[in-house]
Amino acid sequence: MSHTTVTIYYNPQCSKSRATLELLQQNDIEPTVVEYMKDPPDIETLKHLISLLGIGVRDLIRSHEQVFKDAGLDDKDLPDDELLEALSQCPTLLQRPIVVVDDSKAALGRPPENILEIL
């Protein structure tokens, strides 16, 4: 695994993010840490993450957040572009953590053990 590149989209306030980072470190992996609350991913990055994860845009959104409801994002007819724009503007809505390996595969660390499948 010496040439593997691992990136974690991380929020230090999130227990799942901390647990996932710890799990990576226990496996002798020092990932690139992207604190997405300080440095939110742009729309192209979000599209790339979604394609690596093999999920839909809505699956990447934390729909129980109050800001989700306040912004009217629970409207099922909203196009993906509007949802992506909301995610890029309000990173609180992003499911976390996301771990990317070699820019070719990704997993959501919910639970943290999910990431072991891509390492």
- Tell me the catalytic residues: 14
Residue 113, phi then psi, degrees to nearest 5: -65, -20
Q: Which two tokens stand for residue 51?
A: 């394609």
- DSSP category for residue 4: -
Report the distance separating Cα 53 and Cα 90, nearest Å.
20
Beta-carbon count within 10 A of 39 CB: 10
Report the distance separating Cα 81 and Cα 100, nearest Å.
23
